[in-house]
Amino acid sequence: MSRFVAITAVRDFEGNIREAIMGALHGDLQTLSPEVLAGGPEDVFKQLSGAPPEVLILGPGVTPDNALKLATVFDLQYPEISLILVAEPAPELVLRAMHAGIRDVVRPDIDVNDLRVLLERACLASASRRRGMGPAAESAQERGRIIAVMSPKGGVGKTTIATNLAVGLSKLAPMSVVIVDLDLQFGDVASGLLLEPEHSITEAVHGPAAQDSMVLKAFLTVHPAGLYALCAPKTPAESDYITASHVTRLLNQLATEFKYVVVDTAPGLGEHCLATLEQATDGVWVCGMDVPSIRGLSKTFSVLKELQLVPQGRHTVLNFADRKSGISVDDVESTIGVPIDAVIPRSRTLPFTTNRGIPVLQGNTRDAASKGLKRLVDRFDADWIASSQNKLHRRVVLT
Ligand SMILES: Nc1ncnc2c1ncn2[C@@H]1O[C@H](COP(=O)(O)OP(=O)(O)O)[C@@H](O)[C@H]1O
Ligand SMILES: [Mg+2]
């Protein structure tokens, strides 16, 4: 079955749709000539291979009257299909399109990235309408993993690791990853990803987004690597209005929509961190190669064990690793009482990528720091886990 059907004769636009779908959205595209519109919905259906599509794109280059006629019939007979009209959005046309049940009117010169986001939303809308109509089994949703990136200290690389993990995971699961900046006062996920978010967590936890996960998605910022971000509030003062229960609800909502929810946190064990740990399926524990950082992590583990707040998945990362630090990996492991899973050496590339706002895993750099980060990403890849059973805590060696 084709997930997307486009009725257009404009080859360039067809190419843009293919580009938007490729790699990021699953499913393929079937293109029909605008002539089918003259024959009405039955003719359109005769041309479709298999079951109805999820998204039907009308235009560019179709006669609006014919397109809207078809849309009206589809809207009544197949309300689960998301309809998109591609045309110059004159106010009168937009109004008629709305009456005909068109979900979106987009300009023919829409940017491919924007088109991808739009198609993704159209698919989600279609899926949730089908869920509403279908048998109960379809509504049993699979929940995504909530991965908390934690450390008792600041400046040890949490944000660097969280942003790279999110970018790395988006290669495994395009548009199925969201990164949430819960360093509410001084979060720098937006700057680490070169984003200028229109909305922040503030809007996501207050108002309509808190009641409806689809609305919540509209408050996220899309990153060109194929992931979503929910950035920290614009001013530190706003964080006073975000409670632990807001965080709990937010993470639960996101886990119903995304395969991976990566949470960057503030240093320490504040209420937002504890609320995150309560929901998290995985903890990524970051420590530097210095005594305060290692002791801090050891204390964190014992406090959290007592509170029974250690998430099931445990992933320890030794950052700023340096043979000249006077500490060995063995020393670190015996102090924190668990093996180290990934080592990221002190690197010259990472501060540079932080300053540029382009995580190192977005490119193809193959230095030791990216290898360490990649190793962390692999731990969340189902195929990799299956092929390396029992090797999850392989001994690491500093080079
Ligand atoms: N392995 C590393 N080598 C060198 N610099 C690093 C390394 N990891 C992180 N950094 C740099 O350290 C700084 C602080 O990192 P950041 O991720 O913001 O820490 P945190 O979020 O824990 O406060 C950033 O400029 C980052 O580029
Ligand atoms: Mg940070």
How far lies 95's CA from each of 100, 101, 103, in Å? 9, 10, 11
Give Cα 149 to chain centroid, integer Å: 15
Same domain flag for 131 and 63: yes
Same domain flag for 250 and 197: yes
Residues 6 or more apart in contact with residue 199 via CB below 8 angstroms: 219, 220, 221
Collapsing DSSP to helix, strand or coil, 250 comes out as: helix
**Dihedral class, residue 337 (left if φ above 0, else alpha if ψ from -120 to 50, else beta):** left
| Res. 46 pLDDT band, cuts 50 70 90 | confident
Tens of pLDDT along 171-219? 999 999 999 999 999 999 999 999 999 999 999 999 888 988 888 988 9
CATH of the domain at 129: 3.40.50.2300
Tens of pLDDT along 111-120? 998 998 899 8
Contact status, residue 217 vs residue 257, Cβ threshold 8 Å: yes
Task: Please give the residue range of the domain that contains residue 40.
Answer: 4-138
In the block, residue with structure tokens 């979106």:
104
| 162 alpha carbon – ligand 1 mean position (Å) | 11
User: From the CA of 189, which ligand is nearest?
Assistant: 2
138: pLDDT strictly greater than 50: no
Contact status, residue 285 vs residue 309, Cβ threshold 8 Å: no
Same domain flag for 90 and 210: no
Same domain flag for 240 and 162: yes
Same domain flag for 320 and 336: yes
> How many other C-beta atoms are found inside a 10 Å radius of the C-beta of residue 365?
14
Predicted pLDDT of residue 125: 83
**Is residue 399 situated within a structural domain?**
no
Same domain flag for 340 and 211: yes
H/E element, 73: helix 64-77
**Is residue 392 situated within a structural domain?**
no
Domain boundary among 138, 156, 187: 138
247: pLDDT strictly greater than 50: yes
Collapsing DSSP to helix, strand or coil, 161 comes out as: helix
Same domain flag for 183 and 310: yes
Predicted pLDDT of residue 395: 52
399: pLDDT strictly greater than 60: no
Same domain flag for 134 and 149: no
**Is residue 398 situated within a structural domain?**
no
Amino acid at 289: M
Question: Which residues form ligand 1's pocket by a CB distance below 6 Å?
Answer: 151, 154-160, 319-320, 344, 346-347, 350-351, 354, 369
Predicted pLDDT of residue 139: 41
Domain boundary among 97, 118, 138: 138
Same domain flag for 163 and 134: no
Tens of pLDDT along 300-333? 999 999 999 999 999 999 999 999 999 999 999 9
Report which DSSP code applies to 302: H
Predicted pLDDT of residue 135: 52
382: pLDDT strictly greater than 50: yes
**Is residue 112 situated within a structural domain?**
yes
**Is residue 220 situated within a structural domain?**
yes
Same domain flag for 119 and 151: no
Q: How many domains does the chain have?
A: 2
**Is residue 105 situated within a structural domain?**
yes
Over residues 384-390, mean pLDDT: 61
| 266 alpha carbon – ligand 2 mean position (Å) | 6
Domain boundary among 103, 121, 138: 138
396: pLDDT strictly greater than 80: no
Tens of pLDDT along 271-292? 999 999 999 999 999 999 999 9
Same domain flag for 90 and 153: no
In the block, residue with structure tokens 């808190």:
210
Supply the pTM of this predicted model. Answer: 0.70
Nearest CA to ligand 1 atom 26: 351
Same domain flag for 116 and 187: no
CATH of the domain at 183: 3.40.50.300
Contact status, residue 181 vs residue 230, Cβ threshold 8 Å: yes
| Per-chain residues with Cβ under 5 A from ion ligand 2 | 158-159
